[in-house]
Amino acid sequence: MSNQYDKRNVQTMEMLYGEGYLSMGGDDEVAKIVSLVDIAGLDVLDIGCGLGGASITLARDHQARVCAIDIDAGVLERANELVGKSNLHQQVQLLHFDPGPLPFADQSYDVVYLTAVSCHIEDLGPFLAEIKRIIRPGGCLLGAEWFKASENDAYRQWDDMLRDRGLNFYFVSLDGLRQAFTEVGFDAVALHDQSRRVANLAAHYLQRVEVELQQELFEALGSDEYTALIDWTRIRANALELGGSGYAHFVAIKPSA
Ligand SMILES: C[S@@+](CC[C@H](N)C(=O)[O-])C[C@H]1O[C@@H](n2cnc3c(N)ncnc32)[C@H](O)[C@@H]1O
């Protein structure tokens, strides 16, 4: 399995999505997700924090106490740099962990924050059960995820490309996501479909890759990798535009009793 978050890919993604991000939308996207739940003063665990962009804004702009964890030591190095640069080491703790059981006691966090991570998990049941275990009663799982909206040609082209490149993505439908949350015992599962808005965002990133950042990206990546990035960005934008791929925000509550 190739590591899609090696140093060069990380630099490319930051050029495209902004400092600290491996996914679309930056701080504005985090603010939209957080508008679903007031997290001020709460203990928040950001699982699959990547480069820490979301963890930083969760602490700095939304006043949460954040622990940010990832299975990839390389991305955490960059997160550590950015947390230091933001002077937030008191509010954002970073931790490397191995896939499997989460290294926390039961009921340790009020909120688990999860964006663009569960699409990397082949078996969602045990992963979500672990998350539920460490959330306090009445707390929640909050985040965003890609989903399979329709298995049309545009979706298949996107999925085939990821598979051809040896990347580990496992998309499920919106109903599949709802079912996975519900089956492990989350309550009041709310999924907010953002696909239309995110299709526009994806078109904007395609424009950045092909036009605004063309020279910079070509110089940084060389011809073959630049072409591969254009393909990736175009096929993803197409899958969203044609209703094959979707993106949703979610909140799932852990029952109080
Ligand atoms: C698309 S990136 C998203 C990063 C960050 N949440 C963001 O939105 O910028 C996916 C992240 O999930 C991490 N990841 C993959 N599998 C994971 C797992 N089983 N547990 C925790 N994190 C995982 C990767 O290392 C990577 O940092």
Question: 248: how many CB neighbours lie within 10 A of its CB?
Answer: 20
Using a 6 Å cutoff on CB, does residue 56 contact ligand 1?
Answer: no
Using a 6 Å cutoff on CB, does residue 25 contact ligand 1?
Answer: no
Give residue 229 CA to ligand 1 midpoint distance, Å.
20
Amino acid of residue 91:
Q
pLDDT in tens, 90-141: 999 999 999 999 999 999 999 999 999 999 999 999 999 999 999 999 999 9
Run of H or E residues at 253: strand 245-253
Q: Percent of the chain scored above 90 by pLDDT?
A: 94
Using a 6 Å cutoff on CB, does residue 257 contact ligand 1?
Answer: no
Residue nearest to atom 22 of ligand 1 (CA): 48
pTM, full prediction: 0.96
**Residues whose CB falls within 8 Å of the CB of residue 213, separated by 6 or more in sequence, listed in order:** 15, 16
pLDDT in tens, 8-64: 889 999 999 999 999 999 999 999 999 999 999 999 999 999 999 999 999 999 999
Give residue 221 CA to ligand 1 midpoint distance, Å.
23
Q: What torsion do the CA atoms of 51, 227, 2, 126 make, to the nearest 10 degrees? A: 60
Q: What size, in residues, is the chain? A: 257
Give residue 163 CA to ligand 1 midpoint distance, Å.
18
Give residue 116 CA to ligand 1 midpoint distance, Å.
7
Atom of ligand 1 nearest to the CA of 75: 27
Kindly report the backbone phi and psi dihedral angles of residue 114, in degrees, each rounded to the nearest multiple of 5, phi listed first. Answer: -145, 110
pLDDT in tens, 53-93: 999 999 999 999 999 999 999 999 999 999 999 999 999 99
Residue nearest to atom 11 of ligand 1 (CA): 48
Which residue from 69, 71, 117 has its CB within 8 A of the most atoms of ligand 1, so it is best to mutate?
Answer: 117
Using a 6 Å cutoff on CB, does residue 72 contact ligand 1?
Answer: yes
| Alpha carbon distance 124, 170 (integer Å) | 10
Indicate the CATH number of 7-147+168-195+246-253 among 3.40.1790.10, 3.40.50.300, 3.40.50.360, 3.40.50.150.
3.40.50.150
Atom of ligand 1 nearest to the CA of 53: 9
Using a 6 Å cutoff on CB, does residue 46 contact ligand 1?
Answer: no
| Alpha carbon distance 15, 196 (integer Å) | 24
| Alpha carbon distance 215, 221 (integer Å) | 10
What secondary structure letter does DSSP report for 79?
H
Run of H or E residues at 80: helix 73-85
| Alpha carbon distance 181, 52 (integer Å) | 25
Q: Which residue is associated with the tokens 């950001």?
A: 46
| Alpha carbon distance 89, 178 (integer Å) | 35
Q: Domain residue spans in the chain?
A: 7-147+168-195+246-253
| Alpha carbon distance 84, 15 (integer Å) | 20
Q: Are 238 and 154 in contact (CB under 8 A)?
A: yes
